[in-house]
Chain A
Amino acid sequence: MNLHEYQGKQLFAEFGLPVSKHEVIFNAEEAIQACNKIGGKKWVVKAQVHAGGRGKAGGVKLIESPEEARDFADQWLGKRLKTYQTDENGQLVSAILIESCTDIDKELYLSAVIDRSSQSVTFIASSEGGVNIEEVASKTPEKIIYENVDPLTGPQPFQARRISSVLGLDSDQAKQFSGMFQNFVKLFNELDLSLLEVNPLVINSEGKLHCLDAKINLDSNALYRHPSLVEMQDPTQEDPRESEAAKHDLSYVSLDGNIGCMVNGAGLAMGTMDTIKYFGGAPANFLDVGGTATQERVSNAFKIILADPEVKVVLVNIFGGIVRCDLIAEGIVAAIKDVGVNVPVVVRLEGNNAELGSQILADSGVEVESLNDLESAAKKSVQLAK
């Protein structure tokens, strides 16, 4: 789950990390009051979307009067911002962050991720900020430091000193960073983050470190520990079908093709998409119906797949390990009757009680093409989709 910048900054502030004075507004009328509340003569207004590259797309602006903030909010709220990280439709701007302007001496980069190879939370820092870190990594690797935080012993001061040295901080800044490093780790661990990025982390004109951006991703497996963070979820930033699927505990990703897929298991779901492609077809989606595919889940899965108007055929591919194929077959029959499926359905059942399942489909009277191997089922689906 991703958070908006303003939500990230709120959490940064709670963990004692330096962010600008800011207000978030959801309609343009609030702009002037927000600017006055922050004070000063210059502000930065930032369109809130779950995507980077906002500056270049016109979604960030330096302004010198509260009226300009109102005009900016008027221009963007409810509109879609297209950046190099979004698709061609862009992302809906649902909020505007207004903050006091920071005079910048130097831009730095700092992030923390869960690194699979070191099996730890790894900090990545660079003296080159505000840019694409992957480019820095490939062109000037000496300007980047990676620091792994041991999961058992936690962050150590020597690690903060090592990062400070690569960032080129003076002794006061290094002292400030040492405290920030502890707080970043605390934030990461206590809220179960999967990614934290501050790009740029700046040195302001007073020589102090300051977080100008705040990007946070949360580990969705750990959300049960953080009900208050779940409330921060902004469904407008997600594909409506993907969030609808998530509500029913189904894992769904929409794709460009016309063959709807319903599969048990994420690996087999990908394998099924690949198989469709192999025979010259194009999958309309990834959908893992899960290990305990009940009739309700199958019905919901059909509804979500069929909400995509491109879908011309649905391929159901179930390899029953945990799940019994006869139960799945009953679910399919009931779901087809319940949902009113108006495209051809091809079903492949294998594994636990597969024969019984096929029999149920054959006896049901609903129109399904039941095939017991994936090759025939995939070929048939591709043929029906043409």
Chain B
Amino acid sequence: MSILVNDQTRVLVQGFTGSQATLHSEQSIEYGTNIVGGVTPGKGGTTHLNKPVFNSVADAVEAEEPNAALIFVPAPFCKDSILEAADSGIELIICITEGVPTLDMLIVKKKIDELGLRLIGPNCPGIITPDEAKLGIMPGSIHKKGKVGIISRSGTLTYEAVKQTTDLGFGQSSCVGIGGDSIPGSSFIDMLELFNGDDETEAIVMVGEIGGSAEEDAADYIKDNVSKPVISYIAGQTAPAGKRMGHAGAIIAGGKGTAADKISKLQESGVHIAESLLHIGETVKKVIG
């Protein structure tokens, strides 16, 4: 088992013929991901990377029956692409693109929830189930099939957690980057629920950062609902208040959302805190080693 994606997942890439999509789709295919085709309006009927290209998601759904959409279109078009995938009933939609306007996301998120679909991202590295499927931009080679589930708001920090758990031999069941925006499609809680119910996952690593209250909300959820050990690192312990740290969502505003607050709330819920970025793997080892 794993969560969300495996070697059976049929992936449709939106914005397929663009340069970023081409680069990452090529790597995903090489990793063994079952990419069944792509969408680029106006290029329907052609092939790209030996896969069929369609003019619309609806055409692709009819021909290839994908059950996951991976979106690489530029930020101004993400709202349209996500809603198009949702309109065709694709259950899992992953949006990699950074810089989507927040008001677009409010509408998208509301619609996705109404339809009962799942959106991961935007502004995220995607999802990987090692040795089965890579739907995103993460470097496949650092992953190893195993028993730690990883959830993170940040791309490169996810890689750090992955590498440490790989080096110590634990490996990963699946890794999900939920993205660094203030309105993400899925929350820590959504992913904690899935990992907690996954047989293969023995421990969950949750990599958080300053800003918002997603980690605090996750702490409340973990206390009552998660039976597996959770290990957490919170980035931004040295970040000053009022300054946005790159991610739209990473800002300490009105004295709220500090790393210290998040850490103490997580500790109260029994979460094991990695004392620094370098200690994620070691903390996993202490808990399940």
Q: Which of B210-249 contact A (CB under 8 A)?
A: 210, 212-214, 217, 233, 235-240, 243-249
A219-B139 contact, Cβ under 8 Å, with A114-B182, A273-B239: no
Residue interface mask A95-132, B partner, CB < 8 A = 1: 00000000000000000001011011100000000000
Residue interface mask B173-188, A partner, CB < 8 A = 1: 0000000101100000
- Residues of A contacting B61 with CB < 8 Å? none
- Across the interface, B154 reaches (CB within 8 A) one of A266, A320, A322, A352, namely A266
A221-B139 contact, Cβ under 8 Å, with A114-B182, A270-B239: no
Q: Which of B8-42 contact A (CB under 8 A)?
A: 20, 24
- 23 contacts across the A-B interface (CB closer than 8 A): A116-B212, A119-B106, A152-B107, A189-B103, A219-B102, A222-B104, A225-B76, A266-B250, A267-B153, A267-B156, A270-B239, A274-B235, A274-B276, A277-B238, A278-B276, A278-B278, A291-B98, A319-B159, A350-B159, A351-B159, A352-B141, A374-B160, A375-B278
Q: Is B272 an interface residue (CB 8 A)?
A: no
- For the complex, what is the distance from the CA of A116 to the CA of B98, rounded to whole Å? 18
Q: Is the CB of A271 within 8 A of B183?
A: no
Q: Is B43 an interface residue (CB 8 A)?
A: no
Q: Is B116 an interface residue (CB 8 A)?
A: no
A150-B182 contact, Cβ under 8 Å, with A283-B238, A286-B246: no
What range describes how many residues of A lie at the interface?
35 or more
- Residues of B contacting A272 with CB < 8 Å? 277
- Residues of B contacting A253 with CB < 8 Å? 240, 243-245
Query: Which partner residue on chain A sits nearest B159 by CB separation?
Result: A319
- Residues of A contacting B98 with CB < 8 Å? 291
- Residues of A contacting B160 with CB < 8 Å? 268, 271, 319, 374
Query: Which partner residue on chain A sits nearest B156 by CB separation?
Result: A265
Q: Is the CB of B76 within 8 A of A224?
A: yes
Query: Which partner residue on chain A sits nearest B217 by CB separation?
Result: A117
Q: Is B147 an interface residue (CB 8 A)?
A: no
Q: Which of A307-358 contact B (CB under 8 A)?
A: 319-322, 350-352
Query: Which partner residue on chain A sits nearest B152 by CB separation?
Result: A267
Q: Which of B67-83 contact A (CB under 8 A)?
A: 75-76
Min CB distance B42 to A, Å, is 22
- Residues of B contacting A273 with CB < 8 Å? 236, 238-239
Q: Is A48 an interface residue (CB 8 A)?
A: no
Query: Which partner residue on chain B sits nearest A239 by CB separation?
Result: B243
Q: Which of B75, B139, B207, B275 has the most CB of A within 10 A?
A: B139
- For the complex, what is the distance from the CA of A28 to the CA of B210, rounded to whole Å? 44
Min CB distance A146 to B, Å, is 15
Min CB distance A281 to B, Å, is 10
Query: Which partner residue on chain B sits nearest A120 by CB separation?
Result: B106
Min CB distance B182 to A, Å, is 5
- Residues of A contacting B237 with CB < 8 Å? 274, 277
- For the complex, what is the distance from the CA of A351 to the CA of B157, rounded to whole Å? 12
Q: Is the CB of A221 within 8 A of B159?
A: no
Min CB distance B115 to A, Å, is 12
Query: Which partner residue on chain A sits nearest B113 by CB separation?
Result: A119
Q: Is the CB of A275 within 8 A of B277?
A: yes
- Residues of A contacting B246 with CB < 8 Å? 251, 265-267, 269-270, 286, 288
Q: Is the CB of A116 within 8 A of B142?
A: no
Q: Is the CB of A266 within 8 A of B276?
A: no
**Interface residues in chain B, defined as those with a beta carbon under 8 Å from any beta carbon in chain A:** 20, 24, 75-76, 98-104, 106-107, 109-111, 125, 137-139, 141-142, 152-160, 163, 180, 182-183, 207, 209-210, 212-214, 217, 233, 235-240, 243-250, 254, 275-278
- Residues of A contacting B138 with CB < 8 Å? 321
- Residues of B contacting A263 with CB < 8 Å? 156
Q: Is the CB of B250 within 8 A of A270?
A: yes
Q: Is the CB of B254 within 8 A of A267?
A: no
Min CB distance A245 to B, Å, is 11
Name the 10 nearest CB pairs between A and B, nearest first: A267-B154, A266-B246, A265-B156, A222-B101, A268-B156, A267-B157, A270-B235, A151-B106, A271-B277, A270-B236
Q: Is A134 an interface residue (CB 8 A)?
A: yes
- For the complex, what is the distance from the CA of A225 to the CA of B102, rounded to whole Å? 13
- Residues of B contacting A219 with CB < 8 Å? 101-103
- Residues of A contacting B142 with CB < 8 Å? 351
- For the complex, what is the distance from the CA of A117 to the CA of B275, rounded to whole Å? 28
- For the complex, what is the distance from the CA of A273 to the CA of B250, rounded to whole Å? 14
Q: Is the CB of B102 within 8 A of A221?
A: yes
Q: Is A299 an interface residue (CB 8 A)?
A: no
- Residues of B contacting A374 with CB < 8 Å? 160, 277-278
- For the complex, what is the distance from the CA of A192 to the CA of B101, rounded to whole Å? 8
- For the complex, what is the distance from the CA of A268 to the CA of B247, rounded to whole Å? 11
